[in-house]
Amino acid sequence: MIHPLPQILVSHSGKQHAYWHARALQNLGCLDRFLTSGYYKPTRWPDCLVRYISRIDRGLKRRYHQDLNPDKVIRGWSFELPELLSRRVGASRDTVENHVFHRDAKFDRWVARHWASHGDVFWGFQGACLESLKAARAAGKFAVLELATVHSPMAIRVLQQEAERHPEWADTISNYYFPQWYRERLEAEPHAADLCVVASPYTRESLLDVGVPDEKIRLLPLGAQLDRFVPIERKFSEPKLKILFVGGVGQRKGIKYLLDAVKRLGTELVQLTIAGPAAADLEALHAYEGYYNYLGRVDQTDLVAVMHDQHVMVLPSVLEGFGLVIPEAMATGLPVISSTHSAAPEIIRDGVDGYVLEPDDVDGLSHRLKTMAENRELCRSMSKSAMARAREYSWERHEERLEAIVREIADLMTVPPRLEINTEQLTRKTPVSSQEELS
């Protein structure tokens, strides 16, 4: 029997890929509402007052999706203002992160009190939905947690070990320290949900590591905007193999291991270009001067042009929830070498579209880069395969996979009982703001 699709309330504090998720559910006809913190509605009051001021409009468009019905979007900029202002004035990373933690908790409490009983299914995102998951289940709704990155116990453990292993890079590793109250929220969320949705096998592993049953986990890879990351046929004729790194320049992305491989191969054989924002302290990078060209932060339009000028992208991440830049680069025709600590094992066919390695396998990385530098026919073959493979990771394919999960949820909702909540992990209260209503 085919059950009708349930109406789904989506709740996300911040941005990430949630706009595309809400759009997909809207296309499927099952989006009840999309709750978020900051969102731009250029055709609605008072946002329409600034839509013709190009500089402001351009900035706000980052918080907008043209295909989303604005009447379906419920927003609350007040939750996010402290974080935005602290970024604007150049506050420390710790200060900004603290505002993010409190944003998530306040937003979650507001959703739990006023919205969690709406629709048939509550779909919340990691870090900002513990109270909402509990409230939704108490109201008889099916509760879903989507994890955008690796579950916190494994993430903290892996990043702490990396910081201890390479202390000179420790200050470049972000998002692995959480205050105790927030850490407890993160740890409790998967146990409070009926179903957990993850973007990569590595994130699935992090849930299994804390006892979440495998039958409670579903894999939902993210998608890339393939119309922006257009392919190009490369000649691969330059004497040096041109290597690209894209992402935050720090050891969370495994930049040290790539630099070590490049240093070992030498600049006569390879040429490394780094594109992405730098951590505040990059003193450790000075040991590799002369082995890379640093472009800094590159916007998406310019990034495509940069990708077109390269032969291979390397992302040896120590910790990655997905790694959206992997299918984006592949869509342009770049073979990709990435790590097992990301979605690479799901996306990259080893030896066909690129290679998959352990993050710290400098020997393996050096060997594969040398092989590609000396065999340009292999590069051409991988480039064509990468372009074809990337089509499996468009937002349209994401929507198809999401529909399959939603249909499964519709079936599960008719079969009691649900999985039990681990109540021992849900006893701690979280701080909230006294100002919880939205304008």
Q: Which domains, from first to last, does the chain contain?
A: 8-223+395-421 (3.40.50.2000), 241-392 (3.40.50.2000)
Give the Cα separation of 28 and 6 in Å (integer). Answer: 10
Give the Cα separation of 406 and 400 in Å (integer). Answer: 10
Give the Cα separation of 169 and 121 in Å (integer). Answer: 43
pLDDT, tens digit (0-9, with 9 covering 90-100), for 391-430: 999 999 999 999 999 999 999 998 655 444 454 444 444 4
pLDDT, tens digit (0-9, with 9 covering 90-100), for 53-75: 999 999 999 999 999 999 999 99
pLDDT number for residue 416: 59
Strand 121-125 versus strand 8-12 pairing type: parallel
Strand 336-339 versus strand 142-147 pairing type: unpaired
pLDDT number for residue 55: 92
Helix (H/G/I), strand (E/B), else coil: 409 = helix
pLDDT above 80 for 30:
yes
pLDDT number for residue 418: 47
Q: What is the DSSP string of 129-193?
A: -HHHHHHHHHTT-EEEEEESS--HHHHHHHHHHHHHH-GGGGGG--S----HHHHHHHHHHHHH-
Average pLDDT for 68-93: 94
**Can you read off the two tokens belonging to residue 80?**
């996010």
**Can you read off the two tokens belonging to residue 346?**
């799901």
pLDDT number for residue 73: 97
Tell me which residue of 242, 188, 228, 276 sits closest to 376, measured CA to CA: 242
C-alpha dihedral sign at 311, 292, 91, 85 = negative
Least confident of 12-16, 189-193, 377-381: 12-16
Angle value at C-alpha 400, between 119 and 141, nearest 5 degrees: 20
Q: Mean pLDDT across the chain, nearest whole number?
A: 92
pLDDT above 60 for 358:
yes
Query: What ranges make up the beta strands (E) of 328-413?
Result: 336-339, 354-357
pLDDT above 70 for 48:
yes
pLDDT number for residue 415: 66
pLDDT above 80 for 366:
yes
pLDDT above 70 for 337:
yes
Confidence of residue 209 (pLDDT cuts 50, 70, 90): very high
pLDDT above 50 for 227:
yes
pLDDT number for residue 1: 65
**What pTM was computed for the model?**
0.91
Least confident of 123-127, 176-180, 409-413, 415-419: 415-419
pLDDT number for residue 301: 83
pLDDT number for residue 280: 64
Average pLDDT for 294-315: 94
Q: Which residues sit opposite 198 in a β-bridge?
A: 147, 219
Give the Cα separation of 393 and 327 in Å (integer). Answer: 6
**Can you read off the two tokens belonging to residue 327?**
């299918």
Confidence of residue 106 (pLDDT cuts 50, 70, 90): very high
Tell me which residue of 115, 17, 20 sits closest to 68, measured CA to CA: 20
Least confident of 83-92, 220-229, 429-438: 429-438
Confidence of residue 124 (pLDDT cuts 50, 70, 90): very high
Tell me which residue of 291, 296, 335, 336 sits closest to 316, measured CA to CA: 336
Contact of 381 with 322, CB cutoff 8 Å: no
Inter-CA distances, 268 with 285, 293, 336, 366, 367, Å: 20, 14, 21, 14, 16
- Whether omega for the bond prior to residue 417 falls within 30 degrees of 0, making it cis, is yes
Confidence of residue 218 (pLDDT cuts 50, 70, 90): very high
pLDDT number for residue 436: 35
Give the Cα separation of 344 and 349 in Å (integer). Answer: 8
Give the Cα separation of 439 and 430 in Å (integer). Answer: 23
Contact of 143 with 193, CB cutoff 8 Å: yes
Confidence of residue 15 (pLDDT cuts 50, 70, 90): confident
Neighbours of 199 (CB within 10 A): 26
Residues 6+ apart with CB under 8 A from 314: 243, 244, 245, 258, 336, 337, 338, 365, 369
pLDDT number for residue 422: 52
Give the Cα separation of 276 and 12 in Å (integer). Answer: 25
Average pLDDT for 146-152: 96
